[in-house]
């Protein structure tokens, strides 16, 4: 009896302690949320310091526990551009310090940031950049600066762009996995990693083409910014003449070799401070909290809905980092039926995904544009399914650096029979009511007839995709299919071939939408959709709706390091259902 009472007492004490801890956590969350609304002021004679040390995404993604003082797990492109734009006319901000090393972001996103920095310089304010180790992408941004400092022992990467592709054929051979491939288009190389050990000639040809197109554009921009002859900059890059800081200075890519304290001395001179005074540096996160409310500057209730479509296209509602066909179709539908919304901008950053989910979204785009302007704004990637949801829009706006096209489809159905029986000792038997009742199956080989039927389904989807693309682009389907076949294009290449209408950024797309809707600046406000979960909602969701998947992925990324792309590819394959309209292979430009 005494032992029983002891256990009961221990249980009660445990419950009380758990409740107290839970209460403290809850109070902390509420306090953190409340403090986030506290007014933050920026001191006069300050410098905005930009450290792009987190992934650059269309909208800021909150870390699961950012309510406890974290600053989020990504940097939102829109918030970053807004901060630079506001700093241009903010009398308290005298300049910008770019403190950059490795920068994570797509080439088109970086182009938007760079354009915002160039616009900032029109105010007469200064930009200074500092690198300890400068990556190719980081230098692309810092090349706009008035002064570019590089640590005397630092390195600057300036040797061109590259892209690596992982191939899994040997792995599948060892495991006993036999992939059955169904595709249309000689350039639809998304499935090559499953049955090849290297790039096919067509895949290599298209990659060389769009990589060179993107690289030519960046080199031209760098040469113009640094006031260097274009041919000289190309020679420096192609011959890898920059090996160290002295080389970077000799060839005019940087202006000063110096330490961080020397950068601070430069800031003191610009701010006219005494040598013993510390320059006032304002971080991006702090400056974002100090942002003034511009709502009062907007008259009326007119809105332009900006629908952010970022990530893989999947069926159903999807998640915070994917494009759920059902969820996004509903979002477009609500914007179409909202009388306050006068135009829609579909902001796309997606390599594609489910062909069915893409078509669900495409249908709502077609219905919406019957009632109001719908403009597509392509970010880093708008390929395959990403192009599918753009092709019905009134106007398609892309960056020169956007990766787009890839108009093609594929399907993969693996035979896991040898893996199960030979490697794992698992056998499978079946009972069916008809000859094809177990299709699709992953536990046996497909017969030639079954393979033929699945290939016909992929071809049917491709015919539907290209027919709709031809209608959207106002060109004969035969011509469209010559541009399709799964081939990937840069934004510049796509514009030359009529696959996009305008080369420009998000602001250009927004201006087109406003003009089409008859709206002038100050007559409308931006409505960002779909609504994102707050930090508190994400925290609660970890315990209620299983939304900890993104946190788990980030933990795996930290643990796996360079092997994380392999896990991502495996996870993507496991998520594939039905025919896919997806970018050829996992593409990372570095």
Residues noted as catalytic: 188, 384
Length of the chain: 590
Q: CA 566, CA 167: separation in Å to the nearest integer?
A: 9
Range 538-543, long-range pairs (CB < 8 A, 24+ positions): 538/62, 538/64, 538/320, 539/29, 539/64, 539/65, 539/67, 542/64
Q: CA 401, CA 589: separation in Å to the nearest integer?
A: 11
Say if residue 530 is preceded by a cis peptide, omega within 30 of 0: yes
Tokens standing for residue 4: 């029983």
Task: Quickly list DSSP for 288-350.
Answer: HHT----GGG--SS-EEEEEEEESEEESTT--TTEEEHHHHHHHHHHHHH-TTEEEEEEEEEE
E strands present in 102-186: 126-134, 147-156, 178-184
Number of neighbouring beta carbons within 10 Å of residue 438: 14
Residue 62: DSSP 8-state: P
Compute the half-sphere exposure of residue 287: CA atoms within 13 Å on the CB side of its CA. Answer: 26
Tokens standing for residue 232: 């000289």
> Among 188, 237, 208, which Cα is nearest to 411's?
188
For the chain, how are helix, strand and coil distributed in percent, rounded to 5? 45, 20, 35
Q: Is 69 left (phi over 0), alpha (psi -120 to 50) or beta?
A: left
Compute the half-sphere exposure of residue 116: CA atoms within 13 Å on the CB side of its CA. Answer: 24
Using CA atoms, how far residue 353 sits from 57, 385, 585, in Å, is 19, 6, 12
């Amino acid at each position: 009896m005494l032992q029983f009472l002891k256990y009961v007492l221990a249980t009660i004490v445990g419950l009380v302690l758990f409740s107290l801890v839970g209460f403290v956590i809850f109070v902390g969350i509420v306090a953190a949320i409340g403090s986030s609304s506290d007014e933050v002021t920026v001191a006069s004679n300050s410098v905005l310091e930009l450290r792009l040390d987190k992934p650059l995404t269309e909208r800021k993604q909150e870390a699961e526990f950012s309510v406890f003082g974290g600053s989020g797990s990504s940097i939102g492109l829109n918030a970053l551009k807004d901060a630079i734009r506001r700093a241009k006319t903010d009398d308290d901000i005298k300049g910008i310090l770019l403190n950059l090393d490795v920068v994570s972001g797509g080439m088109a996103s970086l182009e938007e940031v760079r354009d915002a920095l160039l616009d900032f310089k029109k105010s007469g304010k200064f930009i200074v950049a500092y690198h300890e180790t400068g990556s190719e992408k980081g230098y692309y941004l810092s090349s706009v600066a008035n002064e570019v400092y590089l640590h005397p022992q630092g390195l600057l990467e300036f040797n061109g762009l590259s892209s690596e592709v992982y191939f899994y054929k040997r792995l599948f051979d060892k495991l006993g996995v036999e992939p059955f491939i169904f595709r249309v288009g000689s350039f639809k190389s998304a499935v090559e990693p499953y049955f090849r050990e290297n790039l096919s000639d067509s895949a290599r040809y298209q990659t060389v083409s769009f990589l060179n197109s993107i690289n030519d554009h960046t080199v031209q921009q760098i040469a113009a910014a640094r006031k260097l002859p274009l041919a000289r900059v190309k020679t420096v890059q192609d011959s890898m003449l920059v090996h160290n800081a002295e080389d970077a200075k000799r060839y005019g890519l940087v202006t000063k070799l110096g330490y961080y304290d020397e950068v601070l001395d430069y800031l003191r001179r610009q701010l006219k401070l005494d040598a013993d005074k510390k320059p006032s540096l304002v971080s991006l996160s702090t400056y974002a909290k100090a942002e003034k409310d511009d709502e009062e500057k907007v008259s009326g209730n007119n809105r332009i809905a900006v629908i952010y479509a970022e990530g893989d296209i999947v069926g159903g509602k999807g998640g915070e980092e994917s494009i759920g066909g059902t969820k996004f179709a509903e979002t477009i539908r609500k914007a179409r039926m909202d009388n306050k919304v006068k135009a829609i901008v579909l902001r796309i950053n997606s390599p594609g995904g489910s062909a069915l989910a893409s078509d669900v979204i495409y249908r709502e785009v077609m219905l919406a544009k019957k009632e109001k302007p719908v403009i597509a704004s392509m970010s880093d990637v708008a390929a395959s399914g990403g192009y599918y949801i753009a092709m019905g829009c009134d106007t398609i706006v892309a960056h020169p650096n956007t990766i787009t096209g890839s108009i093609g489809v594929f399907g993969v159905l693996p035979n896991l029979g040898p893996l199960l029986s030979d490697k794992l000792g698992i056998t499978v038997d079946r009972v069916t009511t008809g000859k094809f009742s177990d299709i699709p199956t992953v536990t046996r080989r497909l017969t030639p007839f079954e393979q033929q039927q699945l290939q016909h389904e992929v071809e049917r989807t491709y015919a539907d995709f290209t027919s709709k693309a031809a209608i959207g682009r106002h060109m004969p389907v035969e011509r469209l299919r010559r541009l399709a076949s799964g081939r990937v294009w840069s934004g510049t290449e796509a514009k030359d071939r009529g696959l996009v209408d305008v080369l420009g950024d998000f602001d250009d797309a927004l201006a087109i939408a406003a003009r089409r809707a008859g709206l002038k600046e100050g007559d409308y406000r931006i409505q960002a959709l779909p609504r994102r979960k707050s930090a508190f909602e994400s925290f609660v969701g970890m315990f209620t709706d299983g939304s900890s998947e993104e946190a788990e992925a980030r933990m795996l990324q930290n643990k796996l390091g360079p092997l994380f792309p392999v896990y991502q590819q495996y996870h993507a394959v496991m998520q594939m259902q039905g025919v896919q309209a997806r970018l050829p292979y996992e593409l990372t430009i570095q």
